[in-house]
Amino acid sequence: MTETFDLVVRAPRALIDGTFQAVEIGIVGGRIGVIVAAAIPPGTIVASSNVAGLFTLGNPILRGLETLTLAPDEVLIPGLVDTHVHVNEPGRTEWEGFASATRAAAAGGVTTIIDMPLNSIPPTTTVAGLATKRAVAVGVIDIGFWGGAVPGNLGSLRALHDEGVFGFKAFLAPSGVEEFAHLDSDELERALVEVAGLDSMLIVHAEDPGVLDAYANSGGRDYRRFVESRPDAAETTAIERVIEGVRRTGARAHILHLSSARSLPALRAARAEGLPITVETCPHYLVLAEELIPDGATAFKCCPPIRDESNRDQLWAALLEGDIDMVVTDHSPSTAALKHAGEGDFGVAWGGIAGLQLGLAAVWTQASRRGIPLERVVEWMSRRPADLVGLAHKGRIAVGADADLVAFAPEARFTVDAAQLLHKNAVSAYDGMPVRGLVRRTWLRGRPISTGADGRGAGRLLRR
């Protein structure tokens, strides 16, 4: 082949179509132009991602202005796509801004995020609010946006849809911020009808306010009492309402941050019926467990809550069986003062897990213990969320796709130090946790991303 590429990446193991292969990848104009099988010395056995066997490649095949060869202990995977991120800028930039969030994302192997319509001020519930957010959204990775569906903008979602949001988020219970109100049953129905007419999607925080009111308690330092205040029934009741609404309206719906495995039978039946419902869960539900959370440790507070080990096992089984489609972080940071408010009182502290930089390593750590191959983990965290939002050129290593790539060392190990993370606030539910898998380098459209403070905003704003 005589063509000279901008960059050639030589990888002993690159994830192509669900399997690891020895390849050379030619990149031109920010996209993957060609993928060819790499020359391998005779007698070499190509190890899977879970095996420590290492080897080197033979002579180069492709020619590039720059050629990079991965280290023997590295694998090449597509940049992850995280469709559930709260950046909070403008208005609450002290919680997290685009500069810090996108650097943390790149350090964790994420090259595309879709930003939630809250907790920024203004929220992304109007075209003006979206424009305000886009004006400040400068980062080192690509950024898209969800719109919000709230009581005050129902009937006028088309304007946001036409401006390129990827769908609309709704809460069925109070969101925790006054500027983003939740939908009651009638409003949920109206939102589903409107979204169906747009051929868009409603993504739903599914907890039932009536159940939450019935189980409300006085809070305190006891984590078990916090879980009791947000029981499985809050999720199952709300999800059943969404299923019924989808059945009546034909709208597409996506269940956010599934925590309770007790909702799985209803979701499985609805999907078997052909209803257009997709489901995500999050790293903290797959990695952490109620039994391991100390009293007063409000770094672990999120809504819906982290449940017990048996529930965690059922979520993993549902991923393997295809009943849960993807894993995204629900990165929901705040200031340390808010996260630790109330001196360990779970009824007072802010609820949210900051996990954007650690999602891949945390999930891979737990998956590898369960004998689940890296190929599955990457699928759940890259191609699946990319497909959810129609980004066919993201989340995969394929000819024509954006050259968003990650050099990942699956056997490298480190201990999480919250103070060293690139999130704006040094609070992490994973602090002190030994994890497996290290992102060594990340590329956006074939260009290496600098995660230092001097990193330039090479990311693009994405539209549906």
The domain segmentation of the chain, as residue ranges, is 4-73, 79-391+412-434
Give the residue among 166, 125, 167, 111 at the shortest CA–CA distance from 460: 111
Q: What is the maximal distance between C-alpha atoms in the chain? A: 71
Give the residue among 37, 15, 18 at the shortest CA–CA distance from 26: 37
* 326-327 and 405-415 strand pairing: unpaired
378/265 Cα distance (integer angstroms)? 25
Tokens 């050639």 -> residue? 8
Q: Are 79 and 85 in contact, with CB atoms under 8 Å apart?
A: no
Tokens 């759940």 -> residue? 380
Which stretches within 322-460 are classed as H helix?
Answer: 336-339, 359-369, 374-381, 383-388
CA 413 to chain centre: 22
* 201-205 and 252-255 strand pairing: parallel
CATH 2.60.120 is held by the domain 4-73: no
Tell me the average pLDDT of the chain.
95
The rounded percent of the chain whose pLDDT value lies above 90 is 92
Q: What are phi and psi of 66, to 5 degrees?
A: -140, 140
Give the residue among 9, 127, 157 at the shortest CA–CA distance from 74: 9
3-class SS of residue 56: coil
Structure tokens at 146: 């969800």
The rounded percent of the chain whose pLDDT value lies above 70 is 95
pLDDT tens column, 38-93: 866 654 544 433 333 444 677 788 999 999 999 999 999 999 999 999 999 999 99
Q: Are 39 and 58 in contact, with CB atoms under 8 Å apart?
A: yes
State the pLDDT at residue 41: 61
Q: Is the pLDDT of residue 432 over 70?
A: yes
pLDDT tens column, 399-410: 999 999 999 999
Calculate the alpha carbon distances from 402 to 60, 78, 87, 303 in Å: 23, 9, 24, 34
Residue 452 — pLDDT band, cuts 50, 70, 90? Answer: confident
Give the residue among 360, 370, 365 at the shortest CA–CA distance from 413: 365
- Amino acid in position 99: A
- Among the CATH numbers 2.40.50.140, 3.20.20.140, 3.40.50.11390, 3.20.20.70, which is that of 79-391+412-434? 3.20.20.140
Q: Are 165 and 462 in contact, with CB atoms under 8 Å apart?
A: no
Report the b/e string of 418-427 with b at 16+ CB within 10 A: beebbbbbeb
Q: Is the pLDDT of residue 98 over 50?
A: yes
pLDDT tens column, 373-422: 999 999 999 999 999 999 999 999 999 999 999 999 999 999 999 999 99
Q: Is the pLDDT of residue 454 over 90?
A: no
Which stretches within 230-297 are classed as H helix?
Answer: 232-249, 264-272, 283-287
* 201-205 and 168-171 strand pairing: parallel
State the pLDDT at residue 47: 41
- Amino acid in position 218: S
